[in-house]
Amino acid sequence: MPEIKTNDLDAMLEYAVKMKATDIHLTVGSKPMLRLRSLLQPLESSQPMSQEDTREIAVACLDEEKLAVLKQNGVVDSSFSRNGLGRFRINIYKQRGTYAIAIRIQPFVIPKFDSLGLPPVIKNFARLKKGLVLITGVTGSGKSTTLASLIDLINEERQCHVITVEDPIEYLHKHKRSIVNQREIGMDAPSFSVALRSILREDPDVILIGEMRDMETVGIALTAAETGHLVFSTLHTVGAAKTVDRIIDNFPPNQQDQIRSQLATVLEGVVSQQLVPSADRSRLIPVTEVMVATPAVRNLIREGKPHMLNSIIQTGANEGMHSLDANLAELCFKGLIAKEEGLSRAQDKQYFQQLINKRW
C-alpha cells in the first residue's frame, strides 16, 4: 500500500476501517498502531509520529472548548464522524510533555443484537418495563455495542421515550417507534450528576447511563429504576459478585444496608463480557456471564452475601444464567477459541479445568 503520512488522519482512519481495526494509537516516536483482533500492530507504510504530527491531529479533532480542557487537565474525551467511514471516539492525553491519542472506531450502523453472538437471554432485558440492567467488563469488551443494540431493539419494538447520558456519544440512534434523545457530557450537560438530576422530569421510559461513576450517579440510577423506569448502565467490573460489591462500596457504611435492599429490589440482571480472539485469530468472539435476578439472587444481595452469587449462577441454567468460565469451556469445546486462551481468561481456573475435563 502507498505510504500514509503521519499527519493524514483521514487516510489512517480509512485504512483502519478497511482492516477492521478496533482502535488506533498515535504517540510520538512510534509508528501509528492499529489494534487488530486484540493485538497492536504497526502501520508499516508510515513513519514514526513527530510531536508536531500529534499536536496537529489533536487541534484538528477538537473545538476551542475541548482544547481548553486538554490544556488545563492534560486529557480530554471527544468524538467525531467521517462520511462513509463511521464514528470515532477519541481520547487525547499528555505524556512526556507531548500529545498521545487513542481512537476507538465505531460503525455508523448499530449492529443488530442477533448478529453479535450473544446469548438470547440478554435480549429479554430490553423487553422489561422497569428495573436496572448492568453491562460490565473491562475497556474494549464490547459493552457499548451491546447496549446500543439493546436500545435499538427497544427503538424498533416499543413506543417510548429513551434518554441516554454518555461521555462521549458513541452510536447515533435514529428515531423509529421510539424517540431517542442523547445527551453528551461536556456538550449538552457539564457532568453526569447534573444531567441525571433533572432526567426524571424529562418523562423518560428508558434511561441509559454511560457509566455509573460515583455515589450520586449510582443513587440516581437506583431511584430511577425504583420509580418505574428501565435503566441500563455499565461498570468496569468482571462478574456479578464484584459488580454488586462495587455498587455497595460507593456508599458509606451507614447507608449500605439501605442500598443493598434497594439494589435487591430493582436489579434485573448483570451481564459481564469479554472479547476473546478466535482459535484461528481471525475475529473476536464475545464471552459472557449472565446473572438473572431470581428470588434467590435478590435474597443474597439483601443479606450482604454477594460472594455466594457465583454458585447461583453456576446452577441457574434453567433461568438463563451461566458463568464466564462455563461459556469459555463451551466455546473451547466447539473449537471457537483455543483451550490455552480459555484457561488464561478463566476466573476460577480449577473450575474451568473441571468443565474442560468433562468434555474431553
Contacts made by residues 336-344, CB under 8 angstroms, sequence distance 24+: 336/278, 336/279, 336/285, 337/276, 337/277, 337/278, 337/279, 337/285, 337/287, 338/279, 341/276, 341/277, 341/279, 342/276
Q: Which residues, in sequence order, are bridge partners of residue 24? A: 34, 103
Backbone φ and ψ of 189, nearest 5°: -160, 150
Domain 113-322 has CATH 3.20.20.80: no
Class of domain 9-106: alpha beta
Domain map (residue ranges) of the chain? 9-106, 113-322
DSSP state of 319: G
Note the pLDDT of residue 213: 87
Model pTM?
A: 0.89
Whether residue 359 has pLDDT greater than 80: no
Instruction: Say whether 298 sits in a helix, a strand or coil.
Output: helix
Task: Read off the pLDDT band of 352 (50, 70, 90).
Answer: very high
Residue 168, preceding peptide bond in cis (omega within 30° of 0) = yes
Helix%, strand%, coil% for the chain, nearest 5: 40, 25, 35
Retrieve residue 80's grid coordinates. 467525531
Dist CA 178 CA 170 (whole Å) = 19
For 116-141, what is the mean pLDDT?
96
Note the pLDDT of residue 84: 85
pLDDT digits (tens, 9 = 90+) for 314-350: 999 999 999 999 999 999 999 999 999 999 999 999 9
